[in-house]
Amino acid sequence: MLRLAPFFYGSPMLTNLRKTLCAAAIAGAAGAAASSHAAAPMTLQDYLALSGPKPDLHIAYGGAPSQFVELFKPAGPGPFPVVILIHGGCWTVHFGGIAQMHNMAGELIKNGIAVWNVEYRRVDEEGGGYPGMYQDVATAVDRLRQEAAAHRLDLTRVAAVGHSAGGHLAQWAASRHMLPQSSPAWRAAPLAIPHVISLGGLADLRNEEQLIKTSCERDMVQLTGLPGAGRPDVFADTSPAELLPAGVRTVLITGELDTVSPVRVAQDYARRARAAGDAAEVVVLPNASHYDEVAATSPAWQLVYAEIRKALALP
């Protein structure tokens, strides 16, 4: 189902992104001329400027600087539904990340939704990449179970929300109960996540390898590791598309103007998920870029927020 309802930069890619963002800005300006209510798509600079409240709690789940989660708690007695929030950034340390997610977190807690904001070791951090990055996400997500009672968190109402590279990791986190036990990222009895919202996600590593290389300047080996005798298929425990069907409802939300993870990417993944027997749908954000997808200050936010409430079974 398709309903109408971009982020990475490096040296040569920065030039391309500037061109893309300029084109998006021109398109936004043209739309604004046609309608005084139209807003220009968000730019990279807009994204980097996103801010929000400080977390209520910083919880380390390992000894590395990036092995922690942030808890944002709403006012009131609870119990609170929970969004597991996983930032993007091309799987690298250079492109913002967890701090920008405070913008969404601040809006969610205003509406009675707790936020479990996950940090993890990325491909250019010691111990990151494969399998450390996946092990971090697994450990951080499962730590929620340990903290839930103390902070009045309702584990019967949980959804994972990830942006871009974080969309890949959020979809992986919701599907990891399908991992082979031989995988170093396998954990017994992982926290159940029945709903996942992928904001401009890049979750089909096998079929989107060229796009990921172009958009993010990532060599796939950074995300999957190398094949070996006991692991001939490096996508089997790293790509959510290979873990289908996972019994998870996935909503893939993409900006109409997203060039990092174009609408076609969401449509292709949804078709594959439905063919495997899972529930999946696509929501396209009108006049929105890769950055509008993750900003509570964007006109697109109401569409994103509506899907979050739906995933948490909130009225």
pTM: 0.88
Say what the pLDDT of residue 111 is.
Answer: 97
Query: How do 68-72 and 153-163 pair as beta strands?
Result: unpaired
| Total tally of structural domains belonging to the chain | 1
List Cα–Cα distances, 149 to 71, 79, 158, in angstroms: 13, 9, 14
Residue 11 pLDDT:
35
3-class SS letters over 127-192 = CCHHHHHHHHHHHHHHHHHHHHHHHCEEEEEEEEEEECHHHHHHHHHHHHHHCCCCCCCCCCCCCC
Which two structure tokens, joined as six digits, stand for 208?
């989107």
Which residues of the chain are under the pLDDT cut of 50? Answer: 4-37
Name the amino acid, one letter, at 72: F
DSSP the chain: -EEE------HHHHHHHHHHHHHHHHHHHHHHHH-TT--PPPPHHHHHT---PPPSEEEESSSSTT-EEEEE--SSS--EEEEEEE--STTSTTS--TTTTHHHHHHHHHTT-EEEEE----TTSTT-HHHHHHHHHHHHHHHHHHHHHHHTEEEEEEEEEEETHHHHHHHHHHHGGGS-TTSTT--SSPPP--EEEEES----TTTTHHHHHHHH---HHHHH---BTTB--TTTTT-GGGG---S-EEEEEEETT-SSS-HHHHHHHHHHHHHHT--EEEEEETT--TTGGG-TTSTTHHHHHHHHHHHTT--
pLDDT of residue 217: 86
Instruction: Measure the CA–CA gap between 48 and 291, rounded to whole angstroms.
Output: 9
Q: CATH number for the domain including 95? A: 3.40.50.1820
Which residue do the tokens 């309903």 mark?
3
For residue 25, the model assigns a pLDDT of 42
φ and ψ at residue 228, rounded to 5 degrees: -150, 180
Taking the C-alpha atoms of residue 213 and residue 216, their distance in angstroms, rounded to an integer, is 6
Domain residues for 247? 2-225+233-311
Q: Name residue 2's amino acid.
A: L
pLDDT of residue 15: 39
